[in-house]
Structure 1
């Protein structure tokens, strides 16, 4: 073997996964077909659950220290979803994808892992023991496992001939990074009577401290073929149509056309090859869910592949990646489709769509509805399927960030190991049998006993014996 894991694609998903492997001592090769990192911002927001995951790896504070990344709000179909600190510890942040990629590139390089650029995958063969990948530049890499994080047009997915069912793109809209004059900072989504609309999201500031925005434009006549370049005049006309003369374009940094295609692979695992991020699911970029869902794929898969490499993974642990993340990806696709309908992306002004939208806006003011939507868009609504019946309400959900006295739960998870919270100090003997992969903590703390996986999800809680859960998720006792 040349390496334990080969990661194809050095975007947010691939680099998050590479960091997981570095932390757990798994040898890793990270490749990308591009000669250098993209300077396109692409996604622009980081949701609460992703921020928690970064915090659980000690990466959040250094990431936010890279520049001005203001707190922002999520939305569902253009209806703002204010942050509730009693429900979500960390509010959304405006951190462009280009910043996240640059941060991870430096973080990985400081630890000795550099992406191998100009590596275009052209061949892939696997057997019972390894995966052999060949590249257009003549390189060959043999690995125990391979992860495809190579985007919506994944070469790995094509070489696997993996089914990618769903809805093809039927229209395009414009997404651009801009600097504007006259735009209200509180403005997010605006529609006019003719069906033209604009959405504005913060992207921090430029080196001169001037605010940057992500601008999205749609409506009648806006849907043009993806290959047609977006011009400044087209952006100016779109702004004028929606805002009149009060909002002016000062600078256009980049613009592209995006489609409403919605697809998901049938299987996230193909033997020793795993699909993650946009290689596994694509949809309209609403709420940065593509990037955030991909990063969560990486957090879920990383510790499981590390367990397999180190030899303690229980049977079927790797299969739980598909069992847990495929439904999460499908849920993202469903809510994006619902949002695109309610937002009338095509600008049809269909009376039935408008009536549904007004009804939805009224419902979205109800606290319970708003909480549900905020959980959905923040990534906090996910509850992974877990074995057993009558499960504790915490099981399958993100672990609460409890104060354990000298430390908090998110700080304990920076080890990349499992955590057994044992407030009554009754499980020392059991925990000792898994002490090479699970840390025991929380003795004397005011909390319930619980077992937390390395990805920050609770897999056991309550007063019964934790030994079956330890064996199920962390393998045979040593």
Structure 2
């Protein structure tokens, strides 16, 4: 093998996978077809669950130190959600995708993983032992596993002829990075009587310290995706919604996006795995595409590491699909609901307006706000955990508990599992998995629980269920034989 894992695509998803594999001590090649990192902003924010995962890897503080990224409020279909920052330990941050990619590329390079650019994938073949990837310039790479993180128009997905069912795009809007005058204090989502609408989001500042914004401009009669975006078109759209109060100063880049909604039928194809936009595409609402892709990466990375090192249970890699496919489907559902409620096409149907009015009243209820915020942030996800009791923590992100001088999220920075054992009850059984799982929490006032490397609780409650949970997620313990039977240890 040339490498253990080849990652096609060096966006946030691909680079997150690369960092997880680096942490697992797995050799990795990260290849991208672009000749240089894109300077174009796409997603504009990081959700709570993704922030937690970055914090669990010790990456959040260094990322936030690269700029001014204030905590921000979210929205659902253009209806603002309250800034209940006390409810989540790490509320939404306005960190543009371009900054995340820059940070990750520098971080990986500092650890010896450099993006191989100008690598256009042209061929793919796999057998029972590995995958062979062929590139346009004639090079081939042989690897044990391949991760396709190469975007919505994934070459890997095409080469696999993977099913990608869903709805094709029926309408387009403009997404642009701009500088504006007169935009201070204007409503984020504003509609005109004829169906034109504008959404604005902060993107930090340019090198001269001037504020940048993501502008989304839509309405009836939008042209097809291949028609270039012009400054005059943006000026006319701003004038239709705001009159002369908001003016375009600079168009840094603009593109058209469609309301296509598709999801791969399978995320795993033998030794090849689809992640991020290669696995799911939808409207870019709430930065859910980038965040869902990065959460795909956190879920997949440690499992690939376990498979390469030989201790992964037989079906561990299959759990990537069983856990992340429903999560992606939930994102597509909420995005399609939002597009209807916010009248994405500018049809101005009275039925849509009536539903939106009632929904806006509902969103004022705190429980509805919390539900929608959790739905978009990934905090509502509960993974299925076969063979465990119905403990409320199982399948959910671990709480960030204090354990004397450290906290749970700090223990996860090793990329290993964590067993919280406050009374020392499970020391003997934990020793059998001590090469994969750290035991902590002795003397702390916490509930015993077992946490996967990606921060999800897989056991809490009945003591008899601990050893099966360890075997289920971390393979056979040292000194155990088939089905966990104890054998003599040398």
Which TM class, normalised by the smaller chain length? Answer: over 0.9
Give the corresponding residue for 2:311: 312
The equivalent residue for 1:337 is: 336
Name the residue aligned to 2:487: none
Counterparts of 1:281-360 in structure 2 under 5 Å?
281-360=280-359
Structure 1 residue 463: Cα displacement = 3.7
Counterpart CA distance in 1 for 2:191 and 2:228 is 24
Corresponding residue for 1:127? 127
By how many angstroms is 1:248 displaced?
A: 1.0
Mapped partners of 1:103, 1:381: distance in 2 = 28
| Alpha-carbon contact 2:13-2:290 (below 8 Å) kept | yes
The runs of at least 4 aligned residues of structure 1 exceeding 6 Å deviation read none
**Distance in 1 between residues matched to 2:25 and 2:441, nearest whole Å:** 26
Deviation of 1:337 after TM superposition, in Å, equals 0.2
Structure 1 equivalent of residue 442 of structure 2 = 443
* Residue number in structure 1 paired with 2:270: 271
| Corresponding residue SS for 1:250 | strand
Matched, 1:193 2:193: yes
Contact 1:44 1:95 in 2 (8 A): yes
The alignment's C-alpha RMSD in Å is: 1.0
In structure 2, the residue corresponding to 1:258 is in which secondary structure? strand
Q: Deviations over 1:406-440 (max 9, x none)?
A: 10111111000000001121111111100000000
Asked whether the equivalents of residues 388 and 469 of structure 2 are also in contact (C-alpha less than 8 Å), the reply is: no
Q: Is the 8 A contact 1:449 1:463 kept in 2?
A: no
| 2-structure distance, mates of 1:390, 1:360 | 36
Per-residue Cα deviation, 1:122-167 (whole angstroms, up to 9, x for no partner): 1100000010000110100000000000000001000100000000
Contact 1:276 1:294 (C-alpha < 8 Å) held by counterparts: yes
Q: Distance in 2 between matches of 1:366 and 1:191?
A: 24
Structure 2: gaps spanning 5 or more residues? 479-490
> Could you list the per-position Cα deviations for residues 70-126 of structure 1 after superposition, in whole angstroms to 9, with x for gaps in the alignment?
211111101112232343111111111111111111001111110111111111000
Counterpart for residue 415 of structure 2 = 416
Map 1:11-410 → 2, pairs under 5 A = 11-185=11-185, 187-221=187-221, 223-388=222-387, 390-410=389-409
Structure 1-normalised TM-score?
0.98
1:47 to partner: Cα distance: 0.5
2:484 corresponding residue in structure 1? none
Contact 2:5 2:147 (C-alpha < 8 Å) held by counterparts: yes
Q: Is the 8 A contact 2:19 2:108 kept in 1?
A: yes
Question: 2:432 corresponds to which residue?
Answer: 433
Shift of 1:186: 6.2
Q: Which ranges in structure 1 are unaligned for 5 or more consecutive residues? A: none
Q: Is the 8 A contact 1:75 1:377 kept in 2?
A: no
**Structure 1, residues 293-315: CA drift from partner, whole Å, max 9, x if none?**
00000000000000000010011
Does 2:468 correspond to 1:468? Answer: yes
C-alpha displacement at 1:191, in angstroms?
1.3
- Supply the distance in 2 between the matched residues of 1:197 and 1:396 (Cα, whole angstroms): 40
The Cα offsets for residues 237-265 of structure 1, whole Å up to 9 and x where unpaired, read as: 11111111111111111110000000000
